[in-house]
């Protein structure tokens, strides 16, 4: 006779795993902003952006359309700095990995982005 295997009191539950897929950004400007944030150097916030614009060495500025950033636009126009409009400050904040609204981002080092 064969001996039956001993029964154990272990529960075999389901383990749910969630794969984190890379979020595809439809807007190439947002993709460039994300790359600049991850591989280059950026400064965010209206006051900080104005400070670095006055010091120089800014490659481009991302501005939210839903915020009044006319003073930043004017400085960029006078210094021939590229301004890229993004729909909302929420999109900018999420793209650079911040849990809050960001109305302005200055790119100091483009990193792997194509700005």
Q: What is the pLDDT of residues 76-94, one digit of tens each?
A: 999 999 999 999 999 999 9
Q: What is the pLDDT of residues 41-71, one digit of tens each?
A: 999 999 999 999 999 899 999 999 999 899 9
Please name the residue ranges forming H helices in 56-111: 70-79, 89-95
Q: Which residues lie below 8 Å from residue 12, measured CB to CB, with a gap of 6+?
A: none
Evaluated on CA atoms 112, 107, 29, 99, the torsion sign reads: positive
Which domains does the chain show, CATH number per domain?
28-109 (3.30.1330.30)
Q: Which CA distances in Å does 112 have to 6, 12, 75, 83? A: 59, 46, 26, 19
Token pair, residue 67, equals: 């915020």
């Amino acid at each position: 006779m064969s001996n039956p295997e001993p029964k154990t009191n272990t529960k075999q539950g389901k383990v749910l795993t969630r794969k984190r897929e890379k979020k595809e950004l439809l807007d190439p400007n947002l993709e460039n902003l994300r790359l600049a944030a991850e591989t280059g150097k950026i400064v965010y916030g209206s006051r900080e952006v104005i400070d670095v614009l006055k010091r120089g060495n800014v490659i481009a500025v991302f501005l939210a359309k839903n915020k009044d950033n006319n003073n930043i636009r004017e400085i960029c126009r006078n210094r021939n700095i590229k301004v890229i409009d993004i729909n909302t400050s929420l999109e900018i904040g999420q793209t650079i990995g911040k849990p809050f609204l960001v109305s302005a981002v200055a790119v100091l080092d483009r990193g792997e982005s194509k700005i």
